[in-house]
Amino acid sequence: MDENSFINIAKKAKETSKRTAVLSSDIKNKALVSMAEALNLHKSEIFEANKIDLEEAALMVQKGEMTQALYNRLKLDENKMRDMVQGIVDISNLEDPIGKILLKRELDEGLILKKISCPIGVLGIIFEARPDVISQISALALKSSNVVILKGGKEAINTNKAIMDVIQKALSSVDGLPEGIITQVFTRDDVAQMLKCDKYIDLIIPRGGNSLVKFIKENTKIPVLGHADGICHLFADESADFNKALNIIIDAKTQYPSACNSVETLLIHKNFPKSHELLAGLKAAGIELVSNPESWHKEYSDKIMSYKFVESVEEAVNHINTYSSGHTDGIITENHANAAYFLSAVDSAGVYHNVSTRFADGFRYGFGAEVGISTNKTHARGPVGLEGLTIYKYTLEGNGNIVKDYAEGKKTFAHKDLL
């Protein structure tokens, strides 16, 4: 696709976003239900397309051109499809995030200020491997009245096309829904053009590895929401319950090792009484333990985990704040003072007590789905659902009010909150 062609897509998306911003909840929810029903009805065709991508990906893994972790993310099965469909249904049942009055203040008699939620506009989504991203982001974008341009990886091109065909046909059957809310592009050049389109695209969300996210952040003026690394930690404190610790750590490492919320480093208090049994239990679960890693800032995306003994909860917190990617980190302890200190002191998007890091997920948080997990400290942080795809505007209504009256002291502000 040449530069002008992509600019036309982006320009059309911007124009569509003006109509999408005022869609009723009823129309959006009808579109979401139509999407969910269509995906469930046509899942066999989607699985066939995914089978083609998996066969080609398996050859790439054998040649060393693709990691096993990437292959695992590419695979679409009944469980993932069930979650895709249920996620869309859940999103349809959520409260509409648009048009909510976040603040209502009487500046003076008859002079009313409101802060109202509104869509961001046009989202550019660049993702690798995971074809279920299409349905998640399409549903969230639609519910939050945003328009989205999707660019998936070539390793999932057949699956992505199949899913998009089903979604587009479902949306075309809904009266009152503007055409072009969701667009898919396919080439590497499209990515380059997308990153230049700061006039039409309001936010870029990358879903992929460190190199992809780093490249995008370094090559665009458009705001970027996401995370580069998933360096997650668990700390087994001195008072940790052995069975809790073992179960939590095994789940956090083995339930889906290639996920960004899989634990990569285990910290153990030097006085934890069953440290040898804990390490033995982790090895028995198939986890390879590394006591002297090349780097503490390493994402294994496999059943491999670094571990280290620490003197105190303070040392654990310092280690995490030094090496964590700010994604999700947790403490396992029965000491509530240590838990409270940890939850307050660790500077990450998700900080947990006595639970697996694998809970860091929009679906599990009740967001229906997520567009990704953000380690940003502006706008949105952690799993980003509907709320993270909204911004706000201020409206001010009065009756001929002018600033001069207040500047000269003829009138004074009341600043009375009405909500």
Predicted confidence (pLDDT) at residue 37 exceeds the cutoff of 90: yes
CATH superfamily of 232-359: Aldehyde Dehydrogenase; Chain A, domain 2 (3.40.309.10)
The predicted structure's pLDDT at residue 1: 53
Round to whole Å and give the CA distance between 232 and 75: 24
% the chain with pLDDT above 70: 99
Query: Residues 394-415: pLDDT tens digits?
Result: 999 999 999 999 999 999 999 9
Answer yes or no: CATH 3.40.605.10 is held by domain 3-225+371-393.
Answer: yes
Confidence of residue 244 (pLDDT cuts 50, 70, 90): very high
pLDDT tens per residue across span 52-104: 999 999 999 999 988 887 888 899 999 999 989 999 999 999 999 999 999 99
Residue 2: predicted pLDDT: 57
> What's the first-to-final CA gap in the chain, in angstroms?
50
Is pLDDT larger for residue 218 or for residue 128?
218
pLDDT digits (tens, 9 = 90+) for 7-22: 999 999 999 999 999 9
Residue 322 contacts by C-beta under 8 Å, 6 or more apart in sequence?
A: 296
Supply the pLDDT for residue 228: 72
Sign of CA dihedral 181, 187, 188, 190: negative
Sequence-separated (6 or more) residues with CB below 8 Å from residue 222 = 124, 195, 197, 198, 201, 202, 203, 204
Q: What is the DSSP letter of 287?
A: P
pLDDT digits (tens, 9 = 90+) for 271-293: 999 999 999 999 999 999 999 99
Average pLDDT over all residues of the chain = 94
The dihedral through the CA atoms of 300, 306, 311, 313 has a sign that is: positive
Ramachandran angles phi, psi of 385, nearest 5°: -110, -145
With contact defined as beta carbons under 8 Å apart, do 227 and 375 qualify? yes
User: What pTM, to 2 d.p., does this model score?
Assistant: 0.86
Q: Give me the residue spans of the domains in the chain.
A: 3-225+371-393, 232-359
DSSP string, 86-109: HHHHHHHHSPP-TT-EEEEEEEET
DSSP of 337-398: HHHHHHHHH--SSEEEESS-GGG-STTTTTSS--SEEE--SSS--EEE-TGGGEEEEEEEE-
**Tens digit of each residue's pLDDT (9 = 90 or more) over 151-166:** 998 999 999 999 999 9
Closest listed residue to residue 233, CA positions, set 336, 361, 319: 319
Instruction: Report pLDDT digits (tens) over 311-361.
Output: 999 999 999 999 999 999 999 999 999 999 999 999 999 999 999 999 999
Q: Which of 58, 137, 40, 43 is nearest to 91 (CA)?
A: 137
- Give which of 369, 404, 408, 411 is closest to 389, Cα–Cα: 369
Query: In the numeric block, which tokens belong to residue 271?
Result: 């006085």
Name the helix (H) or strand (E) containing 162: helix 157-172
Higher pLDDT, 239 or 73: 239
